[in-house]
Structure formats: C-alpha cells, structure tokens
Amino acid sequence: MDKQVSTDRRTGYTEKVLDHFTNPRNVGKMDDPDVTAKVGSVACGDLIKLYLKIDENTRKIEKISFESYGCAANIATASMLTELAKSKTLEEANKITFKNISEELGGLPKIKMHCAVLSMTGLLSAIKKYDAMRGLIVIDDILVKLILKGVLDPISGVDVISSKIVERFSISGKKITINLKGEANSSISKEIDKDIHEAFEGLDVNLTLNYQSNK
C-alpha cells in the first residue's frame, strides 16, 4: 500500500479513492464487447456494468470499461478494478480479489467494502460467462450461483442468494428455472426480474422465473 496515501477526514475516503471517483479510468459503454457483466441494482443504489474485449488466442483482456451508478466508493472500485484487470489474461484477472482493489485504493471504510466485492463479482462473472459462451465450461450450478450473487435485493441491498429471495434453481440443458420469493407483479419483483435477465445477457439460455408469495 502507498504510504503517502492520506485520508480526507470529511469523507473517510483516501486521496486515491477520491481521484478514481472524480477521474474514473476506462469509463463508458463499449460498442463491441465480447462479454458483459452487470452486478448490483439501481434501486438499491449500487450498480456496475462491465464490458470486456478479449483476445481469443492469448486470452488477454485487450479492453475493459464500465458504467456505474452509486456512491464514490462504487465508482472508484470499478475504476480501479479495470486498471488491475487491463492487459491481464483471464487466468491472471481471475485472481484479483476485493482486498487487492481496496489496498490499491489505499483502503476503504468498512461500510464501503461491499463495493469492492461487487466489482470483483462482476469481473468473475464476466470471465466465467466468456468461457461458457465459447463452450469451454458448462453452465452449471456454480456459474448460475455466481451470476445470481451479483443481483441485489432492491430493499436490503443484499444479493438474492444470501437474502434467500432465490429459493432454488434448476438447470436442464439450456433452460434455467429460478424459484423466488415475492409477488410476481410487484414493483420489487419486476426490478429483480429485469436485473436477473440482464445478468445472464450473452448466454444462450432460456430463463424461467417463478415467484411464490409467502402470504
């Protein structure tokens, strides 16, 4: 960690966090990405969408950019993530941790560490989705669970796996059936439905979402 990184007492953020917030690197939508990954939710306040261009032969990340909605830490962690992942192979990028992101930023307040976790989840999802799209790995429970970990409950801000909104899911060929708690036509369920479909964007799968009210 850079010993010269100081913390702004007013915000609790380091100079590096504020720099990546006010001058984010690699920001913006990519027109021709090989894979995308969306994590978070506008409704709960933190959203990141990653775009990756990958050399198929070397498996190096040639380009990576992001769009973000949220607090300073959310934007800064996404910005730093793209800097850490750029020019790395997928295998190298897969080893990046949320602690690496935080350390490179000179540290994050504990209540903002989830932003680093969210951006890292997005990168891991993008890598796994890329390999699945090319038939290098199968779409299994591990991949589906990873993707769903990036979808947040709009109310609590906790992912739909940990919050147990997703009760169970099953995979049969290209069909993925997800059973969730909630009213099918409620505004919250509609938001979750939209986020889940966007999270699986690019994968050749058929999603079926079933809602079951506890009432």
Question: What's residue 42's pLDDT?
Answer: 79
5 pLDDT tier (thresholds 50, 70, 90) = low
Residue 10 lies in a domain: no
For 88-98, the pLDDT digits (tens) are: 999 999 999 99
Residue 7 lies in a domain: no
Question: What's residue 186's pLDDT?
Answer: 92
Residue 27 lies in a domain: yes
pLDDT for 14 beyond 50: yes
Residue 3 lies in a domain: no
pTM of the model: 0.90
Residue 9 lies in a domain: no
C-alpha separations of 163 from 3, 56, 167 in Å:
38, 37, 10
Could you give the CA distance from residue 3 to residue 50 in angstroms, rounded to a whole number? 30
The mean of the pLDDT values for the chain is 93
Question: What's residue 46's pLDDT?
Answer: 87
Question: What's residue 214's pLDDT?
Answer: 66
Question: What's residue 161's pLDDT?
Answer: 96
Could you give the CA distance from residue 27 to residue 82 in angstroms, rounded to a whole number? 9
Tokens 């994968």 locate to 203
Question: Domain containing 82: what range?
Answer: 15-212
For 122-163, the pLDDT digits (tens) are: 999 999 999 999 999 999 999 999 999 999 998 888 999 999
71 catalytically annotated: no
160, 180 Cβ separation under 8 angstroms: yes
CATH no. for residue 200?
A: 3.90.1010.10
Cα radius of gyration rounded to whole Å, the chain: 17
Residue 5 lies in a domain: no
44 catalytically annotated: yes
pLDDT for 3 beyond 50: no
Question: What's residue 153's pLDDT?
Answer: 92
Could you give the CA distance from residue 77 to residue 195 in angstroms, rounded to a whole number? 21
Question: What's residue 45's pLDDT?
Answer: 75
Q: Which of 18, 27, 44, 137 is catalytic?
A: 44
For 176-213, the pLDDT digits (tens) are: 999 999 998 899 999 999 999 999 999 999 999 999 87
Residue 167 lies in a domain: yes
Structural domains counted in the chain: 1
Q: Which of 30, 64, 96, 115 is catalytic?
A: 115
